[in-house]
Structure 1
Amino acid sequence: MSMTKGFVTMVLMLAGALTMAQDIPVNYNLGDNYSDRYKYSTVLTIDSPNNGQTVLVRTYYGGFPLHPKGYFIEIYDEGLNLITDYNYKYAGDHMVDGFVKNGQLYLLELVYHYDRAAYQYVVHHSSLESFSFSETILLSIPSKEVLNPLAVNKYNRNFGNGFSTATYFNDERSAFAITVHFREGREQKYEVYLYGTDLKPQFAYDFSSEVEDKNYAFENIEVSKDLKTLYMMGKAYFKKRRMDATERRFQYELVRFDAQGHKIQEFNDTGRFPESLKPILVDSSLKIVGFYADRKDNRYNGLVYFELDKDSLAISSKKYNAFSQQFMKDKFGREVDTEVKNLIFKDVHLTPDHNILFSAEEYFVSKGEDISSGHTQITERYHYNDIVLAKLNAQGDMEWARNINKTEVTQGDASYASYTAFGKGEDMYFFINSGENPQKIGNERILFKQGYSRNPNMFVIKVNAEGNLSYQKLVDDKEVRLPIMVSRAYIDKSNDNLLFYAKRGTKKQMIRVLVN
């Protein structure tokens, strides 16, 4: 049985004092609360076969220490009812991602084949009508086995382990690129592959000539609609070049690949240090948005915009937009000598007038002590703090930038932390987990604090076309008594809704959020 709730609430305008505002046009539906046999699991993917159903795939764990035991597949109908499930008892150590295409479920895995002494990308595929998995080898690369073959941490790359690979999906999830950096004898090899999500290969490209002097750590991609051209943006680390005190050991580069060759555009203006750059194809033009710093230490000063020719990559326009006083006041109040840093790109939304809404999150990793096992051990803690949102007009001028204060930290599954962003028209919506009530930290500022472990409240924050912010509690712990995986939503832009998965222990539930 589904339930629908609408809301009218008081909102806080962070640009001024507390005021009343119009309703935030967001509703939600709840699915039934189901029992679940797998206490320890993480979501691998959420996707839809475009028939109103939702396919959710989880990796479940067992043993001590915990390790993957298999993949549990659930299919929900449009009313959020669980209509079937399937236990795929395959214990893969490096399952990369999953997706649905043409009524088929595909699971992409990286495996090491000992007999062939090679890493292989293997696709496990099955019809959603009748589960029976088959395997297809997508790619095979001869190599010795290494400790961590997946270059999953793009902020701390290890280029010296002899083999490193990564997979990148475009925003529309119509295609994915695979990069492989490995040794062939004494030579360094770097190869790039582009596939559609129908698994048809678009091209394979040998990029080895460029890794003689640089190591590449790509971060974001864009793919042309015909899937024939791939744009990859990331950091190019210099191997041999001597650096002075004012320079970084890397620069951002955009590489354009197709079956015929590649082109490179460097972003290295003197005294400007770009960060978290994102390529966006808008009609026939190619735009780049991100942050920049005046120094090499990632203390950001504002947003940067470039417009390029999509074929030659020649830069036709660039804008450096410094953060406004309003933004600095949002973030720091009246403090002085403050720094904006550790911002990681999260989402971009194009408005009907081709304005760009660009969001990022303050993310960093710290080390701490854990004594839960009876003895002290050093663990990594992952911090997901403030949200930054900026609006650039179609020419790249910044109209406003705002900061949403929040603080979260986790040592385990990050699905319950961070946020999901959704753009509609000229507005942006952010869905976050927080404690019962945001904390007031000044006359014009509030702070959303971590609360999913005890109080699974999901809040929605709306930012309108003028940059005004409002918020409301959307789902509280009286309605949903399970924490919501707020950063793992399935976004259905064609129907303006999002699907969230809530789980704790042996209980699970689906939530559909509708943006009217």
Structure 2
Amino acid sequence: MKKIIFSALLCLNLLAATAQDIPCTIQKSEVFKDEYRDSYIKSVEDDGSGGVVIGRNFYSSQNLYGYYFEHYDANMKLINELKYAPEDTQVAGFFIKGDKIYIIEFNYDKANNAVICSGSTANLSDFKFTKKVLFSLTKKEFEAVSFFQNFRMTPVVVTNSSKTAFCVSTTVNDAGLGKKVHKVHIYDMDFNLKISHAFKTDTNERDFRRENIQISQDGTVAYFLNNTEKPDRQMQKTGGKYHYELIRVTANDVKTQVLETNEHIATSLKMIFKKDVLACVGFYSYKNERKYSGICYFDMDPVTLQVKTSKFNTFTEQFMAEKYGKDKDSELKQIHTIGMQLNDNNEIVVNAEETDTETPSTFSLRDNIIYAKLANNGDVIWARSINKRQTAYGLETYTSYTPVFKGNETFLFINTSEKPKLGNYEKVQFFQKAGREGGLTLIRIKDNGDFDYKNLFEYSKNDVPFMVSKGGITKQGNSIYFIGSRDKKKQLLKLTI
């Protein structure tokens, strides 16, 4: 009890003095109008001269229609722009590096009855594209009608962190037998093929998600992570129903490693490269329980995939008290990992979010922030919770948050309408009346797990509210960009830590 009271007093001290000394520079573009109402930031890249190139997708009648590419100078003044919405073409992904834009797209070749994957590139100065065919898929591999109507087997494009290579992953039918085969093509930035390989997997997912693919820095290895359900395991009285498999693909072979969880069920597992290992971090529950119990950690040899470490860390008493106050028997549900980063000591800092819809009729959400630091051996050094209660009304992009990592600290940007309040025990909670009301708040998470915050501005003094779940972070990690929207009225916001 003394420990809990002391922690509550620390929280009171936190709330009594917001950290106005958190350094954060605010820059805004001019307010402008888009042709389309719904648009989200997908990529940002420094131009090397203090400016930035921003890629946004836009929607028409809730369907993805095209992309805006915009080049801004250091003062957030628009230099050049391009609207990219080609007909009869599906853009699978795009990325920006230096002074060039790269677009990977698919189109149906009626003459040859095939689906063609092409790569296009253009300089920022003129936006004049040159195109090169990368590979093609036969009708048996990829039915063109289903491809363009509902994108049943969506291609995924991923670059490595240094953007020296990119991967195009497609899920296709195997000679019309109804079995899935994953085709992997890796190219360098000149569109030269480095790897072309196909492999099968037992996964029940329709295709590999973007966040579960990693490319090595030399572009010679691709890693895929996904959970799978095996029917024979459902009949076992002991052991987990689900497990994850890690797949390593090179030009010559494919290796698979099962991450056994035994009596646990792991979810929201994500990969990250450490110094000498490939690590996976996520959350877990026990079999036949509908709540999360802690944080799980695996690390593997990146070549052999041999599992070196496997840890299941139960949520600490402090974490549960911060999250639920006196009612520590409440259940954590619907957790998904948002971001992971290595700090200067090669320790993993993970940010996640738990969403719990309390009253669907009013869309009142408990979008609770979870953050933790893991030691090199996978042990949890600390795990903390910041509670936030928000109202979505269909505006989920204005709730949630985007993390920015700098050194050994993490910075979170959320929309709030009131000062945080202290509940029972250590429970601290941020409130928001509605997705487009209130103001923008910066939360700083320190290396020891403590946090403070700073109110950046109120939306009553701003033209538009900003979509804090759709931030774009520059490669250096010092700046983050958000787009604000009120119908067709838009504005870009740059925040520099």
Do both share a fold (TM > 0.5)?
yes
Maintained 8 Å contact 1:151/1:166: no
**Aligned twin of 2:42:** 45
Question: Structure 1 residue 389 and structure 2 residue 371: aligned?
Answer: yes
Residues 256-286 of structure 1 deviation map (CA, whole Å, 9 limit, x = unaligned): 1111212111112321222222222222222
**Aligned twin of 2:428:** 446
Question: Structure 1 residue 144 and structure 2 residue 143: aligned?
Answer: yes
Find the aligned partners of 1:341 and 1:178 in 2 and give their Cα distance.
31
- What's the offset of the Cα at 1:147? 4.6
Q: How does 1:333-482 map to 2 (within 5 A)?
A: 333-363=325-355, 385-408=367-390, 410=392, 414-438=396-420, 440-442=422-424, 444-451=426-433, 453-455=435-437, 457-482=439-464
State TM-score, norm by structure 1: 0.82
Find the aligned partners of 2:395 and 2:196 in 1 and give their Cα distance.
34
Within the candidate set 165, 171, 184, 1:180 is matched to 171
Give the SS at the match of 1:304: strand
Maintained 8 Å contact 2:18/2:453: no
Paired residues, what number? Answer: 481
Find the aligned partners of 1:60 and 1:230 in 2 and give their Cα distance.
30
Question: Structure 1 residue 121 and structure 2 residue 117: aligned?
Answer: yes
- What's the offset of the Cα at 1:406? 2.0
- What's the offset of the Cα at 1:454? 3.4
Maintained 8 Å contact 2:93/2:156: no
**Aligned twin of 1:55:** 53
Find the aligned partners of 1:421 and 1:336 in 2 and give their Cα distance.
27
Maintained 8 Å contact 1:33/1:507: no
Within the candidate set 444, 465, 473, 1:491 is matched to 473
Q: How does 1:65-104 map to 2 (within 5 A)?
A: 65=61, 67-91=63-87, 94-104=90-100
Find the aligned partners of 2:307 and 2:262 in 1 and give their Cα distance.
16
Find the aligned partners of 1:382 and 1:193 in 2 and give their Cα distance.
42
Change in CA separation of 1:242 and 1:306 when aligned onto 2, cut-off 3 Å: closer
Q: Which amino acid aligns with 1:29?
A: I
Change in CA separation of 1:277 and 1:504 when aligned onto 2, cut-off 3 Å: same
Find the aligned partners of 2:321 and 2:147 in 1 and give their Cα distance.
42
Change in CA separation of 1:362 and 1:462 when aligned onto 2, cut-off 3 Å: same
- What's the offset of the Cα at 1:327? 0.4
**Aligned twin of 1:323:** 315
**Aligned twin of 1:18:** 13
Q: How does 1:240-319 map to 2 (within 5 A)?
A: 243-244=235-236, 249-297=241-289, 299-319=291-311
Q: Which amino acid aligns with 2:325?
A: G
Give the SS at the match of 2:459: coil
State TM-score, norm by structure 2: 0.85
Maintained 8 Å contact 1:13/1:469: no
Q: Which is strand-richer, 1 or 2?
A: 1
**Aligned twin of 1:332:** 324
Find the aligned partners of 2:8 and 2:252 in 1 and give their Cα distance.
53
Question: Structure 1 residue 235 and structure 2 residue 227: aligned?
Answer: yes
- What's the offset of the Cα at 1:302? 1.1
Residues 105-153 of structure 1 deviation map (CA, whole Å, 9 limit, x = unaligned): 123334444444444434343221112234433332223245577999x
Q: Which amino acid aligns with 2:74?
A: E
Residues 163-209 of structure 1 deviation map (CA, whole Å, 9 limit, x = unaligned): 4544444555553341313241325241332435614433121203x
5+ long unaligned stretches in structure 2 = 1-6
Q: Which amino acid aligns with 1:396?
A: G
Maintained 8 Å contact 2:479/2:494: yes
Maintained 8 Å contact 1:388/1:404: yes
Find the aligned partners of 2:93 and 2:360 in 1 and give their Cα distance.
30
Give the SS at the match of 1:510: strand
- What's the offset of the Cα at 1:70? 4.1
Residues 270-326 of structure 1 deviation map (CA, whole Å, 9 limit, x = unaligned): 212222222222222222222222225552211122222121111222222111011
Give the SS at the match of 1:16: helix
